Amino acid sequence: MAQPITASELHGRDDLPDWRALLRRMEATFRAPDFPAAARFVESVAAAAEAAGHHPDLDLRYPARVHVVLVTHDTGGLTDADAELAGTISRLAAEAGLTSEPQAARAVEVAIDALDIDAVRPFWRAVLAYEDEPTPEGEQVVAVVDPQRIGPPVWFQQMDAPRPQRNRIHIDVTVPHDVAEQRVADAVAAGGRVVSDAAARAFWVLADPEGNEACVCTWQDRD
């Protein structure tokens, strides 16, 4: 049974200098000599992960950078299984001549102020095609996450007073043209409203029950 570890415990170790704790996970970035070497490194990490029965998210980007994210999905946090696999990955990177870039790690969240989180959250879950963040039983769900673990999480901060002015920041959600109308309908069914469809099919302006806005966008009607 994997044992939980904290960010403090992770950074108190001296055997994982390549890794940084971010948002209940640990991340590392490695630069390879060239793109084929980076791809071979990804293959070696995949083999090691399969042997360990513990699998990271791997992101290979041109020209030759590999980003690795480790988290124990069953617990939604870090465990000693992550730390063990992290050590193996660092060893594979060193053997392959990759350079560690620990300070390149970063995580982005979108924060939305809300008076009634439970009323607002379904709109954002629908418009983004996200899912509720796993939360201990009995605790309020305060975030939605990308099931593919690609887009940033969206979390909801409890407000104690309304802000009646129009928000100055909104989220553009660009989707395939053949799912846009259904995405708009799903967002409306989840408690949202259409602020404007004057620019459809290029984009629809939507708002959640408290007026926070998102645009569902496509490539269409932009020429």
pLDDT in tens, 12-61: 999 999 999 998 899 999 999 999 999 999 999 999 999 999 999 999 99
Give the residue from 165, 169, 137, 175 showing the smallest Cα distance to 154: 169
Domain range for residue 16?
Answer: 7-104
Model confidence at 1, in pLDDT bands (50, 70, 90)? confident
Considering 80, 104, 128, which residue would you say is the last residue of a domain?
104
Provide the domain count of the chain: 2
Model pLDDT, residue 170: 86
Whether residue 210 sits in one domain with residue 126: yes
Q: What is the pTM of this model?
A: 0.83
**Average pLDDT over every residue of 200-208:** 95
pLDDT at 96 over 70: yes
What CATH number does the domain containing 87 carry? Answer: 3.30.1360.20
- Contacts of 110-113 with CB under 8 Å at 24 or more apart are 110/152, 110/153, 110/154, 110/155, 110/171, 111/154, 111/155, 111/156, 111/157, 112/154, 112/155, 112/156, 112/157, 112/208, 112/212, 113/156, 113/157, 113/159, 113/163, 113/212
Q: Mean pLDDT across the chain, nearest whole number? A: 93
Residue 223 inside a domain? The answer is: no
Residue 39 inside a domain? The answer is: yes
Residue 202 inside a domain? The answer is: yes
Model confidence at 148, in pLDDT bands (50, 70, 90)? very high
**Average pLDDT over every residue of 173-183:** 93
pLDDT at 126 over 80: yes
Model pLDDT, residue 166: 67
